[in-house]
Amino acid sequence: MASLDKSFVTDSVWKPDLFKGKVVFVTGGAGTICRVQTEAMVLLGADAVILGRNVAKTEKAAAEIASLRPGAKVLGLGNVDVREIDSLAQAVATTVSKLGRIDFVIAGAAGNFLSDFNHLSSNAFKSVISIDLLGSFNTVKACFSELRKNKGAVIFVSATLHYYGVPFQSHVGAAKAGVDALSNALAVELGPLGIRCNCIAPGGIEGTEGMSRLMPETGHGASKVPLARWGTTRDISEATVYLFSPAASYVTGSIQVVDGGFWHIGNFMGDLYPLVILNQNSVENLKL
């Protein structure tokens, strides 16, 4: 996993201590993308809390992130289920008790797997909707009083899968489309209260579980990306810092796509389509 280090403070365009005195609350913070988003915020002065299901993994990641900056306070709260509002409310109470406030929220907890519609169960579809969409709603709901008090900002981690039809991703595409709609509605509704809401939609990001599991081997690799490379977790971190920084104080209700222009290409399956669809729905694979 490509993490950040202290050189981020000196070789980036951002000022040291940009987020000094601020606290960021991150669901999915022990995962690859959201962890590096958190690292960037901590390196630039913020304290943080990361939430996850796995206690040991979440606490270990928090300790490693805290080591990036002397004096940094990073809580790792495991056994938190974003599908349960009470679980998040308790995490918020712990955060405020130990860190004093919440200024920024990253709603990044997500679930995904490959499945064609024929083999996708109703429960599996519901599970992804519950983690990605309901979890995003619950996260902001639980943090609302702190966001209102501190005129905070929210970033939802979305995707580009619903910009066009992507086989084997109907569950995630539907969930992320809902996340975008939620962000847009909250940007309008919470804007008068001083709260900004935006989405970041990553493309293919090297070193992530999603990249290794979900991107098919089409043979063309990064050569089809307009910027001729896959993304990095640092690319997502830079967008995160921008959207939380004063530079974006007039930016809300936006979807920041960070994918090198790849979504404009559309048919990333290449020569695999439509044969792979027909094979999955053959008589031998039919699921009644």
The token pair at 54 is 């796995």
Q: Which of 12, 22, 115, 176 is labelled catalytic? A: 176
Amino acid identity at 240: T
Alpha-carbon span 98 to 101, nearest angstrom: 9
Alpha-carbon span 201 to 180, nearest angstrom: 9
Antiparallel, parallel or unpaired: β 104-107 and 153-157: parallel
- Residue 122 is among the residues annotated as catalytic for this protein: no
- 23-27 β-sheet, strand order: 74-77, 47-51, 23-27, 104-107, 153-157, 196-202, 255-258
The token pair at 229 is 């490379």
- Residue 158 is among the residues annotated as catalytic for this protein: yes
**E runs forming strands in 148-205:** 153-157, 196-202
DSSP code of residue 15: P
The token pair at 17 is 């201590």
Say if residues 160 and 263 touch (Cβ distance below 8 Å).
Answer: yes
Say if residues 185 and 166 touch (Cβ distance below 8 Å).
Answer: no
Alpha-carbon span 40 to 244, nearest angstrom: 11
Q: Which of 12, 115, 136, 158 is labelled catalytic? A: 158
**E runs forming strands in 149-282:** 153-157, 196-202, 255-258
Catalytic residues: 158, 176
